[in-house]
Amino acid sequence: MKPFIKHCIILLILTGLMACQPEKSSQPKIGIIVPLEHTAMKEIVAGFSETLTNLYHQPVYIKVANAQSDNNLQRAIIQQMRDENYTMIVPIGTGATEMSLAIVHNQPIVSLAAKLSEHDREQRNPCNVALVRDEISSKKIIEFIHAVYPTIKNIALIHSAADKVFPEVNETISIGKQYGITITHIMAATLPELTSSVQSLPRETQAIFILKDSLIVSGISTLAKAASERHIPLITSDQGSVQDGAGFALGVHEKEIGVAGAKLASEILLGKPACALPIAEMKTLTVFINKKALFGETQNEKLISDAAAKFGYKIEFTDSTKKV
């Protein structure tokens, strides 16, 4: 028999096997959709899985599916979870959440780190989504930077075209003006553009600032090197970038997003409707400090600690060698 026909038959048998997959045990099935491979995503998933295991004292099957920034793959994953009657779907990020909302109508959705409003939730019929939002107010960040460095007047804000950060850029710039800070924004849509963006930073730049931006954070070592050469602080908005070389950040533990999501998920598993649960906001801010990076940037760690104490923020020292 021709090999090609043989392979067709094998494929048909496989397809039949797919259709005849025995049902997994009756334990609840939860599908977590991770849009791309990133340390922050891993921490969110870890926070969610560990907390849910502790809160919901029964066996739960958790499947983590990585869409690898591929919309077609993401759609296939969501459709599979819907068709296999997953008890709950947990998308991370705005794109994954919106796609889940478009495809899944009957199963509850716990959205993590997405930019969705109460109004969006109320529009749903039936309403089947609970939200965990992780946005940090730009005002708080600029206020903190100003408290640490009251004399700084020029900051370069480097960002990508990600939907998460783009709307915050203008807000950050206008808040900067309130504190007498001129914030120059530089967009790098891809990592190669980041290198040339960093090399063309305005001469009067006194600090480099980045929002919670996965693309830019991927290139943090480039920014850290530039900050070190210019002896200016590199200020970020997430813990991971401080571990990778930024001086300090005001942000939240990524794991806490997962923890908050797990709390909502356990309530839903216990029978509460998703829409009845309030939107969870990340309110506890932490100042992450990398002493080694600050030393390289010739910055004073005490200024940051004093400002953190003034605002009542917890301080956490992270090290380049230690990864969460």
- Residues that bind another protein in the complex, under the rule CB under 8 A: 2-4, 6-7, 11, 14-19, 21, 37, 65-73, 75-77, 79-80, 83, 94-95, 98-99, 101-103, 105, 115-116, 119-120, 123-124, 161-163, 166-167, 189
Distance CA 237, CA 213 (A): 8
Please tell me whether residue 156 adopts helix, strand or coil conformation: strand
Nearer to another protein, 59 or 167 (CB): 167
Q: In what order do the strands lie in the sheet with 154-159?
A: 182-187, 154-159, 207-209, 234-236, 248-251, 286-289, 314-317
Nearer to another protein, 213 or 254 (CB): 213
Nearer to another protein, 64 or 303 (CB): 64
Nearer to another protein, 165 or 257 (CB): 165
Nearer to another protein, 15 or 54 (CB): 15
Least Å distance, CB 68 to another protein, is 7
Helices and strands: H and E segment counts in the chain: 14, 13
Nearer to another protein, 2 or 203 (CB): 2
Distance CA 186, CA 199 (A): 11
Find where tokens 């730049």 sit.
205
Distance CA 259, CA 212 (A): 19
Residue 141's alpha-carbon distances to 104, 107, 115, 138, 211, in angstroms, are 36, 37, 19, 5, 9
Least Å distance, CB 80 to another protein, is 5
Least Å distance, CB 79 to another protein, is 4
Nearer to another protein, 219 or 245 (CB): 219
Least Å distance, CB 113 to another protein, is 14
Please tell me whether residue 137 adopts helix, strand or coil conformation: coil
Dihedral Cα 291, 208, 214, 292, nearest 10 deg? -10
Least Å distance, CB 158 to another protein, is 16
Nearer to another protein, 87 or 154 (CB): 87
Least Å distance, CB 106 to another protein, is 10
Distance CA 252, CA 274 (A): 24
- In 140-297, where do the E strands start and end? 154-159, 182-187, 207-209, 234-236, 248-251, 280-281, 286-289
Least Å distance, CB 27 to another protein, is 16
Least Å distance, CB 175 to another protein, is 18
